[in-house]
Amino acid sequence: MPEPLTTSLQAVFGYSQFRAGQEAALTALEAGQDTLAVLPTGAGKTLIYQLYGYRHAGCVLIVSPLLALMTDQVNRMHLAGFRRVAAITSLTSFGERQMILAHLAQYQFLFLSPEMLAQPAMLARLRQLPLSLLVIDEAHCIVQWGPDFRPEYLLLGAIRERLGSPLTLMLTATADQATKGEIAKQLRTTPTEVTASLDRPNIFLDVEPVANDAAKRERLLTLVTQLVFPGVIYFSSKQLATDTAQWLRDQTGLPVAAYHAGLSSEDRFKIQQQFMQGDLAIICATSAFGMGIDKNDVRYVIHYHLPADLGSYAQEMGRAGRDGQPSLAVLLYAPGDERLPLTLNQANRPDDATIQRFYAHPQAFSVDDPGIALLTFYQQHGISATAVQALFERRERERGRALAQMLAYVREPQCLRARWLTTFDEVAPAHTATCCAPGKVALDLDALGLKRQPVSAPTPVAPSWQAQLRRLLIADAPR
Amino acid sequence: MDPQDLLDLLDDQQARRLRVIENLLRGRKTVSTLYWGQRYDLLYLLSLDKHLARGGLDTVAQTLVSQKMATWLPAEQPQLRLTALGRKQRDQAVTFRPKTQALWPQITLGLARQRLLLSVQVVSQYAHQTARYYPLTTDLATRQAVRQWFHQVKSPELATQVFTALTASLTRLPPMTAQVVTAGFSGYQQPGLTVQQLAQDLQRTPWEVYLRHVDGVVQIAQDARQTDHPLHALLAPAWQTAVTRSAQATLRAVATTDLTLDQVAVQRHIKPSTVREHLLEAAIMLPVTAVPYDRLLPPATRQALLAVLPAQLDDWEYTALPVALQQRFDFFTFRLLAILCDKEGDHHAGTPDD
């Protein structure tokens, strides 16, 4: 009989208690049940498969759509003490891929992007492996249409069967009933559901309507000047994140940096570590920021642009206050802000005429266009033009519905928390003064205890390069 | 690259092709790019910005033109020439000249950089006895090389040895360069600053900061050629000859046999035109003594060509040669002579017996 779960938890992570949902998910898996775990950001979803992998022989295969961040994931596993971990994505060099494939059987955890998993040669190799667990990370991507969407996710059900239907863990931070049903259907299983409340009572929710972009910028500056550190501001464009970081730095003199997928991996590493270490007061980020950042004391998250759906919003604002201390989530909204997600939604989708022309003459199109790449994928998998059209229409309706829910949150007059939680079929707690400030209610930072006290910080004297090098390399150098 | 960075790469006497500068940065080593890179004295730019998009300098160039710092000559390829104002501006600015730039074409920069940065991080964490930390994201080959090196050299003295060696290298460079390199390192309680952040702090352009960083990396790699340097095993493999292996083989065949160029082509199973490209590449990238000019450019050939070519090298045009000479001498011979004249600093041709 294997050791109790808590014994394993203590042995691997040094914790004595699980967080909500972790133990239930592990118990279900231990009983051999496929499990769908809907746990909020910061709930420690990774721990579930890490611990399962520790307790069982064989390989844990993790399918994740977040290509650029998979290396971070591997590093985090290393940091947690797991050594036999590898990732194969389209970004993995040929040499590295060969190296990993040559030692495939030795890995305890293997991260794969869906497109890699869909390759027949890869699948054939994986079929020879003893899989202890198949993990579908970000499982809502199966139904979600967006930048993270990978058509290969639609093949996962068939792939799972070809792998011999191994025990499967589906993970997501966000799924309403319809999404949960679709995930189960696509993966051809009837999973045990484990959910924990999405609510984050220590995060005060705030929506602030502003007249226009200029007013929004001004409001952002005021907030940033008054709020305690550290904070994250989300943007929907890399350029705006970069420009605003510069502007805020100039205006406030605070250490502010931009973080987005356009940075080199070296710069991403440096900015992340600076933020973790407390060298930065504010990060201006795109949605690329989040994973790999286990920072507990983020005091506020501000959204400068309207997220495309409440699920993404909850995930991003949920990076505030993981330490349980009072924190703040602000959404700035100017009339017409919904146009951007709407445009992005439509821009990703080939129109009906293009679909027809593509199916008539596929060779006349360049697969460099993501929309065409998608069509090529569907065509190669025998999906007809009509079915694709219907698929796109359905997705667009879904996205429209999600955006409408987001807007309903922005326009909610009574209780933002109730609006958010009920959208995800959860019963909301009673509204109180420490709950939220909808559009017409003013935000009182003093009352929240999140107002920064003015301190005259001494200007740090930059050390000489010799002293800096000494501190870096010599353990007993003066710090 | 900011406008002032590009300004520094231009001249008022010589119109310079923007595509050549762009292709040098992108690491496109065609003979034409290399030749003009040499003529502009900009070969050190080779492969410094491999991710630069085609046309990636056009906007910056247009800015200089709109500021009346440069003129845009709409030739077959756009050429830029500094105006008097641009020249003045360039000369007034205190421009940074990398100390080690002559060595840059001989080093695989990406390899040296990645290995240096990761090894410093590993040694720093080791010195402070940190077992668990986020390693810099590098490719598998770098990780393996650093791991192997570390296991070979690991000792209680390692950190001090690395500290002493790096200090010695950085002392040879301007203090600001030493500061850029040191502040960019990641290690114990030091995430390291990005090029952008350093540029901000030091009030310099990101491009200049990057050049300083490269200067530091190359200086360290140069010092690590000494076999007793703690980073020797890691950084020595980054050095290479400035020409491809295949071009080296062609040069060897030409220099050590009496075969004609076409016979060399047959022997090496390459096209005759490739033999000539290899020789031009070698002539540009290697010292004069490495190429058998006497054999490839006999005195009679030089005299015949120099008698009719203009004094200024940049004015030489093969197609402007009299037809009879074009029939006697191919483009290869013409270009090789230009390279030789450039290397010998002979900008005033026309002296038949040089």
User: DSSP secondary structure string, B304-342?
Assistant: HHHTTS-SSGGG--GGGS-HHHHHHS-HHHHHHHHHHHH
**Which residue on chain B is closest to A293 by alpha carbon?**
B134
A81 contacts in chain B (CB < 8 Å): 132
- Domain A5-195 in CATH: superfamily? P-loop containing nucleotide triphosphate hydrolases (3.40.50.300)
- The mean predicted confidence, pLDDT, of chain A is 88
pLDDT tops 70 at residue B318: yes
Min distance B338 CA to chain A CA atoms (Å): 40
pLDDT tops 70 at residue B276: yes
pLDDT tops 70 at residue A145: no
CATH number of the domain that residue B86 is part of: 1.10.10
The DSSP letter of residue B135 is P
- CB of A273 closer than 8 Å to CB of B186: yes
pLDDT of residue A1: 64
Residue contact B200–A249, C-beta within 8 A = yes
Chain A contact probe: residue of B111, B122, B130, B140 with most A CBs at under 10 A:
B140
Same domain, B68 and B117: no
Angle at B231 between CA B228 and CA B237, to 5 degrees: 100
Domain membership flag for residue B350: no
CB pairs under 8 A between A and B: 102
Model pLDDT for residues A223-257, shown as the tens digit of each residue: 999 999 999 999 999 999 999 999 999 999 999 99
Domain membership flag for residue B348: no
Single-letter code of the amino acid located at A263: L
Count up the domains in chain B and report the number: 3
Least confident piece of the model among A27-41, A365-379, A427-441, B219-233 = A365-379
Same domain, B234 and B282: no
pLDDT of residue A458: 59
Report the 3 state secondary structure along A239-278.
HHHHHHHHHHHHHHCCCEEEECCCCCHHHHHHHHHHHHHC
Same domain, B109 and B210: yes
Query: Nearest by CB to B179, which of A272, A465, A470?
Result: A465
pLDDT of residue A365: 83
Chosen domain end from B95, B127, B151: B95
- CB of B135 closer than 8 Å to CB of A75: yes
Rounded to an integer, the average pLDDT of A352-380 is 82
Structure token digits, residue B27: 């690491």
- CB of B98 closer than 8 Å to CB of B215: yes
Q: How confident is the model at residue A147 (pLDDT cuts 50, 70, 90)?
A: very low
Burial of B93 (C-beta count, 10 Å sphere; 0-12/13-18/19+): exposed
Rounded to an integer, the average pLDDT of B150-157 is 94
Model pLDDT for residues A47-83, shown as the tens digit of each residue: 999 999 999 999 999 998 766 667 778 878 887 788 8
Domain membership flag for residue B349: no
Residue contact B186–A99, C-beta within 8 A = no
Residue contact A266–B129, C-beta within 8 A = no
- Dmax over CA atoms of chain A, in Å, equals 72
- What element of type H or E holds B343? helix B331-343
pLDDT of residue A78: 81
Single-letter code of the amino acid located at B265: A
Domain membership flag for residue B45: yes
d(CA B100, CA A377): 50
Rounded to an integer, the average pLDDT of A164-183 is 88
Residues 6+ apart with CB under 8 A from A93: B139, B140
d(CA B354, CA B346): 9
Q: Scan for tokens 């109790």, then name that residue.
A: A4
Query: Nearest by CB to B127, which of A279, A465, A473?
Result: A473
**Which residue on chain A is closest to B192 by alpha carbon?**
A270
Q: How confident is the model at residue A144 (pLDDT cuts 50, 70, 90)?
A: low
Residue ranges of E strands in chain B: 16-17, 70-74, 78-82
Query: Nearest by CB to A469, which of B135, B182, B192?
Result: B182
Q: What percent of chain B has pLDDT over 90?
A: 82
Rounded to an integer, the average pLDDT of A81-106 is 87
Among the listed residues B121, B104, B127, the one whose alpha carbon sits nearest the alpha carbon of residue B184: B121
Rounded to an integer, the average pLDDT of B45-69 is 93
Structure token digits, residue B96: 């940074």
Give bridge partners of residue A227 from the DSSP assignment.
A451
| Interface check A102 vs B, CB under 8 A | no
Residue contact B133–A267, C-beta within 8 A = no
Model pLDDT for residues B235-273, shown as the tens digit of each residue: 999 998 888 899 999 999 999 998 999 999 999 999 999
pLDDT of residue B351: 37
- CB of A405 closer than 8 Å to CB of A310: yes
Chain A contact probe: residue of B122, B134, B176 with most A CBs at under 10 A:
B134
d(CA B319, CA B332): 13
**Which residue on chain B is closest to A270 by alpha carbon?**
B191
- What element of type H or E holds B153? helix B140-153
Domain membership flag for residue B67: yes
Residue contact A95–B178, C-beta within 8 A = no
Structure token digits, residue A32: 């051999």
pLDDT of residue A149: 55
| Interface check B126 vs A, CB under 8 A | no
Chain A contact probe: residue of B52, B123, B137, B147 with most A CBs at under 10 A:
B137
A71 contacts in chain B (CB < 8 Å): 137
C-alpha atoms less than 13 angstroms from C-alpha of B351 in its C-beta half-sphere: 6
Chain B contact probe: residue of A473, A474, A479 with most B CBs at under 10 A:
A473
pLDDT tops 80 at residue A292: no
| Interface check B330 vs A, CB under 8 A | no
- Dmax over CA atoms of chain B, in Å, equals 76
Residues 6+ apart with CB under 8 A from A376: A362, A365, A367
Rounded to an integer, the average pLDDT of B8-28 is 94
Query: B111 is in which domain, residue-wise?
Result: 105-238
Q: CB atoms < 10 A from the CB of A288, how many?
A: 18
Q: How confident is the model at residue A26 (pLDDT cuts 50, 70, 90)?
A: very high
Query: Nearest by CB to A469, which of B163, B195, B201?
Result: B163
Chain A contact probe: residue of B118, B190, B212 with most A CBs at under 10 A:
B190
Residue contact B135–A78, C-beta within 8 A = yes
Give bridge partners of residue A290 from the DSSP assignment.
A292
CB within 8 Å of chain A, chain B residues 269-328 = none
Single-letter code of the amino acid located at A17: Q
Among the listed residues A266, A215, A271, the one whose alpha carbon sits nearest the alpha carbon of residue A241: A271
pLDDT tops 60 at residue A384: yes
Domain membership flag for residue B332: yes
Residue contact B186–A269, C-beta within 8 A = yes
B182 contacts in chain A (CB < 8 Å): 465, 468-469, 472
B189 contacts in chain A (CB < 8 Å): 277, 471, 479
pLDDT tops 70 at residue B49: yes
pLDDT of residue A146: 43
Least confident piece of the model among A64-73, A398-407, B193-202 = A64-73
Residue contact B191–A71, C-beta within 8 A = no
**Which residue on chain A is closest to B179 by alpha carbon?**
A465
Same domain, B8 and B69: yes
d(CA B90, CA B92): 6
* Residue of A294 and B167 predicted with greater confidence: B167
Residue contact A266–B117, C-beta within 8 A = yes
| Interface check B124 vs A, CB under 8 A | yes
Considering Cα of B348, then B349, then B352, then B354, what sign does the dihedral take? positive
Backbone angles phi, psi at A194, to 5 degrees: -120, 120
B200 contacts in chain A (CB < 8 Å): 249
Domain parsing of chain A, residue ranges: 5-195, 199-228+299-479
Rounded to an integer, the average pLDDT of A439-465 is 83
Min distance A266 CA to chain B CA atoms (Å): 7
- CB of A170 closer than 8 Å to CB of A37: yes
pLDDT of residue A348: 67
3-class SS of residue B190 = strand
Q: How confident is the model at residue B43 (pLDDT cuts 50, 70, 90)?
A: very high
Among the listed residues B49, B109, B38, the one whose alpha carbon sits nearest the alpha carbon of residue B343: B38
Backbone angles phi, psi at B321, to 5 degrees: -70, 150
CA A285 to each of CA A12, A259, A262, B232, B281: distance values in angstroms, whole numbers, following the listed order: 33, 5, 11, 40, 45
B193 contacts in chain A (CB < 8 Å): 270
CA dihedral (B97, B100, B101, B103) in degrees, to 10, reads 170
pLDDT of residue A108: 95
pLDDT tops 80 at residue A91: no
Structure token digits, residue B61: 């160039």
pLDDT of residue B48: 94
Residue contact B163–A270, C-beta within 8 A = no
Q: CB atoms < 10 A from the CB of A432, how many?
A: 10
pLDDT of residue B251: 94
Same domain, B262 and B214: no
Residue contact B163–A266, C-beta within 8 A = no
pLDDT of residue A86: 92
Domain membership flag for residue B34: yes
Domain membership flag for residue B17: yes
**Which residue on chain A is closest to B202 by alpha carbon?**
A462
Q: What percent of chain A has pLDDT over 90?
A: 53
Q: How confident is the model at residue A456 (pLDDT cuts 50, 70, 90)?
A: low
Backbone angles phi, psi at B149, to 5 degrees: -60, -45
ipTM for the predicted complex comes to: 0.88
B141 contacts in chain A (CB < 8 Å): 95-96
- CB of A35 closer than 8 Å to CB of A180: no
Residue contact A469–B160, C-beta within 8 A = no
Residues 6+ apart with CB under 8 A from B323: none
CA B275 to each of CA A62, A164, B31, B271, B332: distance values in angstroms, whole numbers, following the listed order: 51, 57, 12, 7, 10
Model pLDDT for residues A271-281, shown as the tens digit of each residue: 999 999 999 99
SS3 content of chain B, % helix, strand, coil (to 5): 60, 5, 35
Structure token digits, residue B145: 């090389």
A78 contacts in chain B (CB < 8 Å): 135
| Interface check B136 vs A, CB under 8 A | yes
Query: Nearest by CB to B132, which of A79, A274, A475?
Result: A79
CB within 8 Å of chain A, chain B residues 145-174 = 159-160, 162-163, 166-167, 170
- CB of B5 closer than 8 Å to CB of B205: yes
| Interface check B140 vs A, CB under 8 A | yes
pLDDT tops 60 at residue B89: yes
| Interface check B128 vs A, CB under 8 A | yes
d(CA B15, CA B314): 9
B190 contacts in chain A (CB < 8 Å): 468, 471-472
CB within 8 Å of chain A, chain B residues 175-194 = 175, 178-179, 181-183, 185-194
pLDDT tops 70 at residue A460: no
CA A119 to each of CA A125, A126, A129, B194: distance values in angstroms, whole numbers, following the listed order: 10, 11, 16, 37
Residue contact A95–B140, C-beta within 8 A = yes
Residue contact B124–A472, C-beta within 8 A = yes
Least confident piece of the model among A38-47, A107-116, A118-127, A306-315 = A38-47
Query: Nearest by CB to B186, which of A249, A270, A466?
Result: A270
d(CA B237, CA B188): 27
Report the 3 state secondary structure along chain A.
CCCCHHHHHHHHHCCCCCCCCHHHHHHHHHCCCCEEEECCCCCCHHHHHHHHHHHCCCEEEEECCCHHHHHHHHHHHHHCCCCCEEEECCCCCHHHHHHHHHCHHHCCEEEECHHHHCCHHHHHHHHCCCEEEEEECCHHHHCCCCCCCCHHHHHHHHHHHHCCCCCEEEEECCCCHHHHHHHHHHCCCCCEEEECCCCCCCEEEEEEECCCHHHHHHHHHHHHHHECCCEEEECCCHHHHHHHHHHHHHHHCCCEEEECCCCCHHHHHHHHHHHHHCCCCEEEECCCCECECCCCCCCEEEECCCCCCHHHHHHHHCCCCCCCCCEEEEEEECCCCCHHHHHHHHHCCCCHHHHHHHHHCHHHCCCCCHHHHHHHHHHHCCCCHHHHHHHHHHHHHHHHHHHHHHHHHHHCCCCHHHHHHHHCCCCCCCCCCCCEECCCCCCCHHHHCCECCCCCCCCCCCCCHHHHHHHHHCCCCCC
pLDDT tops 60 at residue B338: yes
The DSSP letter of residue B43 is G
Residues 6+ apart with CB under 8 A from A127: A162, A163, A164
d(CA B10, CA A403): 52
d(CA B299, CA A403): 79
